[in-house]
Amino acid sequence: MLHEPVRLPSGTFTISKAFTFEAGHQLSSLPSEHKCGRQHGHSYEVEVILTSSALNGPGFVTDFGALAPFKGFLDAELDHRNLHEVLPFEPTSERLARFLAGWFIQNLQPKISGRLLAVLVRETASSWARFDVEER
C-alpha cells in the first residue's frame, strides 16, 4: 500500500497499434537494374500512433477497438493487391505512410478521441518509413 500520494506529472499520453497486410508493388520510375523496379511483395506492418493530453472513458487515449475500421480499410483495399494498380501514386513506403495518415484523419479521426501523431509503414524487419502529422 502506498503511504504517500504520488504527484502526477503533466504531459501527454501516446499509444500505438500495429496492423498487417500483404501486398506487391513495383517502383517503375527506378532504373531497370534496381531490384525494387521489378515486381515484388512485402508483408507490410502499419503502425498508427495517437496522442492526447487527457484520457477518456476508463483511462484511454482511444479504445484500441475503435481503430478496427482502419484494419477494415487495409484488408478491403490493400491486402493481397498490387499497390501500384490500386493507389494513385508510386507506392513507396513514405508515400503510403502519408496516404494512410490522410485516410485515417479523414475517415476515423472525427469519430475517436486522441490525435493521430504519425503513421509508420514497415516493409521488412529492418526498414520503415514514418509520416509525422503536423499539429493542427
Q: Which of 36, 42, 45, 47 is catalytic?
A: 36
80 is catalytic: yes
Q: From CA 20, how far away is CA 44, in angstroms rounded?
A: 6
The candidate with the shortest Cα–Cα distance to 131, out of 107, 108, 97, is 97
Radius of gyration of the chain (CA): 18
33 is catalytic: no
- Segments of 4-133 assigned E as strands: 13-25, 40-52, 81-82, 115-124, 127-132
4 is catalytic: no
How many residues comprise the chain? 136
Give residue for cell 478491403.
Answer: 76
Q: Which of 22, 77, 80, 85 is catalytic?
A: 80
Active-site residues: which are they? 36, 80, 123
